[in-house]
Amino acid sequence: MPEPVVIGTRGSPLALWQAEWVRTALKRHFPATPVELKIIKTQGDKILDVPLAKVGGKGLFVKEIEEALIDGRVDLAVHSMKDMPAEVPEGLAIGAVPEREDPSDVLISRGGRPLAALPLGSRIGTSSLRRAAQLLHHRPDLIIVPLRGNLDTRLRKLDTDALEAVVLAAAGVRRLGLAQRISEHLDAELMLPAVGQGALCIEIRRADTRIAPMAAALDHPAARAAVTGERAFLRRLEGGCQVPIAGYATVAAGRIRITGLVADVDGSAVIRHCLSGPAEAAELLGIELAEVLLGRGAKRLLSKLTATLS
């Protein structure tokens, strides 16, 4: 019997759904190979009473899993791409980006009301500065309430914390079979998604010749090109998970269209731009987009936020 493939994953319901999806996909391509899951608790899972912006950057939900990958305790890791730092550690690589789920953000509200129908001064729960900044830019009257925990925990807080609504990633809501709870899909013009949102990251050891072709069987070229452009944009801005940066790319007919945004945390200033070009130039376009935003004042906004959080 072939040697088992061990998948490293967080233990939240959504993370386990994602890891199970990868396990099923691997079994479909390589039916003779056993595939096992290993649950690893990350720092982001342990610190639940502090806003993410005050705890650290994107590595909060991946660092311990990457350490297990580096030292051989697991053979590949499954992450939400939006949790991935802009730089992958030495010796590791993104082995596959499967086909992307809906990348948008959704509003789940009391009574199913859309954002425009929420009362003046409504309390909205979100753990994301990106979401908060764009909500406040659109509706400065809203009161943003920091919200931590797994998706089901955040939905429960809609009642327990006297919130009018919460904003979540559509992908997680759909993957957990909760699409019927969605009150409104927030259009990208109003709420530009996070870099990598809706995409999975299958991370491997760069030199692992056994696992690399197995991971590659799950790769979706258009999703990979889109995510490559978005991540290049983020990397050039040196942005972490908890800064008001958004980036979203689409790929069609060999062309990529990528939109980037940097905002002040209170939504008072938003800098946004869009570029398009050949899909094979995704990384260069992402970098160029970042340069455009930096030239239009994004550097000042990001420096201001860094000083606020330090």
Q: Are 2 and 90 in the same domain?
A: yes
Q: What is the CA radius of gyration of the chain?
A: 19
For residue 298, which phi and psi values (nearest 5 degrees)?
A: -65, -35
Residue 55 is predicted with a pLDDT of: 54
Domain boundary among 186, 210, 241: 186
Residue 307 is predicted with a pLDDT of: 65
Judge whether 273 lies within some domain.
Answer: yes
pTM over 0.85: yes
Residue 53 is predicted with a pLDDT of: 55
d(CA 122, CA 145): 10
| Residues of the chain below pLDDT 50 | 241
Judge whether 261 lies within some domain.
Answer: yes
Q: Which helix (H) or strand (E) holds 174?
A: helix 170-175
Expressed as residue numbers, the domain containing 288 is: 220-310
Residue 308 is predicted with a pLDDT of: 65
CA dist list (Å): 10 to 83, 180, 214: 12, 25, 21
Residue 70 is predicted with a pLDDT of: 97
Task: Say which residues have a Cβ less than 8 Å from residue 299's Cβ, sequence separation at least 6.
Answer: none
> Is residue 81 within 8 Å of residue 200, measured between CB atoms?
yes
**C-alpha dihedral sign at 139, 140, 143, 144:** positive
Quickly count: other Cβ atoms within 10 Å of residue 147's Cβ: 22
d(CA 81, CA 268): 28
**Edge-to-edge strand ranges of the sheet holding 123-125:** 143-145, 123-125, 165-169, 105-109, 184-186
Q: What is the pLDDT of residues 262-293, one digit of tens each?
A: 999 999 999 999 999 999 999 999 999 999 99
Q: Are 91 and 214 in the same domain?
A: yes
Residues acting as catalytic residues: 83
Residue 60 is predicted with a pLDDT of: 75
Judge whether 305 lies within some domain.
Answer: yes
Q: Are 211 and 69 in the same domain?
A: yes
Residue 51 is predicted with a pLDDT of: 56
Judge whether 194 lies within some domain.
Answer: no
Tokens at residue 149, please? 């925990």
Instruction: Look up residue 254 and give its amino acid.
Output: G
Residue 165 is predicted with a pLDDT of: 97
Residue 236 is predicted with a pLDDT of: 95
Q: Are 247 and 203 in the same domain?
A: no
Judge whether 193 lies within some domain.
Answer: no
Q: What is the pLDDT of residues 85-101, one digit of tens each?
A: 999 999 999 999 999 99
Instruction: Look up residue 288 and give its amino acid.
Output: E
